[in-house]
């Protein structure tokens, strides 16, 4: 069984709970909260948040003026502390609290029987069906930094920032309901002072349209401040005299909803997920707009002990294909968007160059097929004749009948111009010119064919006042799996922003939306064809045994490594562990490590090719263009990354 330390992975297990409650029955509510805290602790949760005023219920109304209720609420908090003093889990609980002669709507942060701090609500909701100012005062009216509870002075104020004593990067802050809806929410200042986790104790009622708005607000808010947002709202067991609550729970991370609860249930609702706080911090480091944002608010830092959690499995999903949308319902939108981006980018280049033709080398493989499909869409956008697309098939020593036939059929069925230029005689003449044996199957043998093909494409483009449309993809660019000044070069790299796994996905989408059965059949056959440069001679049965993925590793692994290395800036050790989790049913750990080491060796050594790559459109969040996205020295040493993997 796989065991791992969650915090060493840069992750944290968090929960949001909306417990069963009874209005004003603080003893019942405290017991439910204690049960929930204990249950969360057993599940490895490190921080759990409860709804606003969860000890008393939110809808107590003028009962908040009753000293009996207020005293009982404070005693209930102490009971919760006492009953959870053996647990390292942090709990954030809502209650009304008298400080001086003022009543505040508060969040108590507790751990191991101690109250770490009390955060009052900043913005009181006092419009429509809400009238909180009838009972409470806000943070703006606070005049003290401490409150005495059970004889102990407790830090008090919305200027509290909770910081892990074992990891100075990990900080969290607390908002209460309306604070999130305010124009300038406290979470903004908390985030700018280092909080990557924001917990919201809420009592947000339901009416038509509010749920969707609230959900989008949380999602967008978490994205804007590069944070995880953990939201817990009151149960339907609140009073329904005038409004209804739903027990809505949401965990969002940097613009993505990781999990949410069933609404309108009278049972206790609980959601748990694993937050990648290291990724959040890395995102902030990458964003210079976040770095230069200024806040003049200072915070008092309250230290807490971060629980060490050993787990068997992650609760968050680690996708094997991070470049591909997880939600298949989004497929049409995503593929349409990519095809529009490609077609528009190429069209703009044609408008500028005033070229007559597009010249594409078609091999019958995935990359050249997508380039052809996208170029066809570009020409349709420009109202140009499709026979102005010149598809060039250039069979060599390793070309198979299957790939050649698929390429030719595709060109013919789409009505583009087709030219077949056999390169074998030209390459053999070149071998004779440079004194290279034609039966020496080395890198010269392979690269000579790639460079000959590029020479042919460039010259045909000159002949026809055209531009050469590059077919190489992002994965090949990352790994340097292209011939320098061969297929590495074109006049516009149309696929340069799309990784191999995504290209297969897009071609499949084109096939599914193709009305002509014969074309769809060819595209599906291309998808199933093993990926090969077809540069070494075929065997007696006409099969090319040169398999790219056996040389450089499965593309599904390489794209996984690429995403987490470039997009997320994760360490090699973390990438290995995430890959181990994602591919536990597909590859042995030793295999993953072997291919990851090769990935680093190839990626670090191939920057010189990327430094001179042609223009090409950015498609997703990962791009390796040296002009816009990725800059590194060609002489980078990889020792640090390999040492971590071998350590």
Active site residue 293: no
Paired tokens of 405: 């036939």
Alpha carbon dihedral 602, 603, 608, 612, in 10-degree steps, equals 120
**Class of residue 92 by CB neighbours under 10 A (exposed 0-12, middle 13-18, buried 19+):** buried
E-assigned strands of 396-536?
417-420, 466-470, 492-493
Name the region of 229 (left: φ>0; alpha: ψ -120 to 50; beta: rest).
beta
Q: Which residue has the tokens 């470039």?
A: 566
**Class of residue 559 by CB neighbours under 10 A (exposed 0-12, middle 13-18, buried 19+):** buried
**Are residues 162 and 109 in contact, defined by beta-carbon separation less than 8 angstroms?**
yes
Active site residue 177: yes
- Which residue of the set 121, 377, 500, 609 is catalytic? 121
**Are residues 166 and 306 in contact, defined by beta-carbon separation less than 8 angstroms?**
yes
**Are residues 247 and 264 in contact, defined by beta-carbon separation less than 8 angstroms?**
yes
Paired tokens of 172: 């969290």
- Sequential DSSP letters for 525-550: HHHHSPP----SPP-TTS-----HHH
Which residue from 44, 32, 22, 18 is spatially nearest to 316, judged by alpha carbons?
A: 44
Q: Which phi and psi angles does 250 have, rounded to 5°? A: -140, 135
Long-range contacts of the stretch 128-132 (C-beta < 8 A, 24+): 129/205, 129/242, 129/243, 130/178, 132/105, 132/178
Q: Which phi and psi angles does 116 have, rounded to 5°? A: -75, -35
Q: What's the rounded Cα separation, in Å, for the pair 180 and 202?
A: 9
- Which residue of the set 81, 106, 125, 177 is catalytic? 177
Q: What's the rounded Cα separation, in Å, for the pair 203 and 54?
A: 9
**Are residues 86 and 93 in contact, defined by beta-carbon separation less than 8 angstroms?**
no
Q: What's the rounded Cα separation, in Å, for the pair 337 and 340?
A: 5
- Which residue of the set 32, 46, 52, 476 is catalytic? 52
Contacts of residue 356, Cβ cutoff 8 Å, sequence gap at least 6: 388, 464, 465, 466
Q: Which phi and psi angles does 538 have, rounded to 5°? A: -80, 160
- Sequential DSSP letters for 216-272: HHHHHHHHHTT-EEEEEE--TTS--SS-EE---EEEEETTEEEEEPPSS-SS-EEEE
Task: Identify the helix (H) or strand (E) that includes residue 273.
Answer: strand 269-276
Active site residue 85: no
Q: What's the rounded Cα separation, in Å, for the pair 171 and 303?
A: 9
Which residues are part of the catalytic machinery?
52, 121, 177
């Amino acid at each position: 069984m796989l065991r791992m330390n969650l915090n060493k992975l840069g992750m944290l297990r968090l929960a949001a709970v909306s417990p069963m409650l009874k209005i004003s029955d603080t003893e019942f509510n405290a017991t439910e909260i204690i049960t929930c805290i204990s249950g969360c602790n057993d599940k490895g949760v490190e921080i759990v948040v409860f709804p606003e005023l969860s000890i008393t219920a939110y809808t107590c109304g003028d009962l908040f003026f009753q000293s009996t209720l207020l005293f009982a609420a404070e005693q209930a908090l102490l009971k919760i502390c006492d009953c959870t003093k053996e647990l390292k889990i942090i709990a954030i609980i809502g209650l009304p609290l008298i400080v001086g002669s003022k009543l505040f709507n508060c969040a108590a942060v507790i751990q191991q029987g101690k109250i770490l701090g009390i955060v009052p609500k900043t913005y009181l909701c006092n419009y429509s069906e809400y009238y909180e100012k009838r009972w409470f005062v806000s943070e703006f009216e606070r005049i003290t930094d401490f409150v005495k509870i059970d004889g102990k002075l407790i830090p008090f104020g919305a200027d509290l920032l909770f910081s892990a004593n074992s990891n100075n990067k990990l900080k969290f802050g607390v908002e209460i309901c309306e604070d999130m809806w305010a124009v300038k929410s406290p979470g903004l200042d908390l985030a700018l002072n280092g909080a990557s986790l924001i917990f919201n104790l809420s009592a947000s009622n339901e009416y038509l349209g509010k749920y969707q708005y609230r959900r989008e607000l949380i999602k967008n808010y978490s994205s804007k401040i590069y944070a995880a947002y953990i939201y817990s709202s009151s149960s339907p067991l609140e009073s329904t005299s005038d409004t209804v609550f739903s027990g809505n729970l949401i965990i969002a991370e940097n613009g993505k909803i990781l999990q949410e609860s069933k609404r309108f249930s009278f049972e206790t609702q609980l959601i748990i997920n694993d937050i990648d706080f290291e990724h959040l911090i890395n995102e902030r480091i990458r964003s210079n707009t976040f770095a230069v944002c200024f806040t003049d608010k200072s915070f008092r830092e309250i230290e807490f002990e971060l629980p060490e959690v050993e787990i068997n499995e992650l609760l968050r999903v680690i996708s094997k294909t991070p470049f591909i949308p997880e939600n298949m319902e989004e497929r049409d939108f995503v593929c349409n968007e990519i095809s529009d981006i490609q077609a528009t980018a190429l069209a703009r280049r044609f408008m500028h160059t005033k070229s007559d033709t597009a010249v594409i080398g078609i091999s019958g493989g995935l990359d050249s097929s997508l380039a052809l499909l996208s170029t066809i869409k570009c020409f349709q956008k420009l109202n140009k004749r499709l026979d102005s697309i010149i598809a060039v098939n250039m069979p060599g020593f390793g070309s198979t009948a299957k790939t050649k036939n698929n390429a030719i059929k595709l060109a013919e069925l789409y009505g583009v111009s087709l030219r077949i230029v056999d390169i074998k005689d030209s390459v053999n003449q070149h071998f004779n010119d440079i004194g290279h044996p034609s039966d020496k199957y080395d890198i010269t043998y392979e690269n000579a064919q790639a460079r000959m093909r590029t020479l042919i494409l460039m010259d045909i483009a000159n002949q026809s006042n055209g531009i050469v449309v590059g077919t190489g993809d992002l994965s090949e660019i990352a790994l340097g799996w292209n011939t320098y000044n061969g297929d590495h070069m074109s006049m516009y790299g149309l696929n340069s922003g799309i990784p191999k796994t995504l290209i297969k996905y897009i071609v499949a989408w084109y096939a599914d939306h193709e009305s002509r059965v014969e074309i769809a059949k060819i595209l599906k056959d291309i998808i199933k064809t093993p990926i090969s440069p077809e540069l070494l001679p075929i065997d007696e049965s006409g099969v090319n045994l040169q398999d790219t993925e056996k040389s450089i590793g499965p593309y599904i692994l390489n794209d996984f490594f690429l995403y987490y290395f470039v997009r997320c800036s994760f360490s090699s050790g973390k990438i290995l562990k995430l890959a181990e989790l994602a591919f536990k049913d597909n590859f042995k750990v030793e295999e993953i490590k072997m291919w990851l080491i090769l990935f680093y060796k190839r990626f670090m050594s191939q920057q010189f090719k990327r430094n001179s790559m042609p223009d090409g459109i950015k498609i997703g969040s990962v791009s390796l263009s040296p002009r816009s996205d990725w800059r590194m020295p060609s002489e980078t040493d990889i020792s640090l990354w390999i040492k971590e993997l071998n350590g």
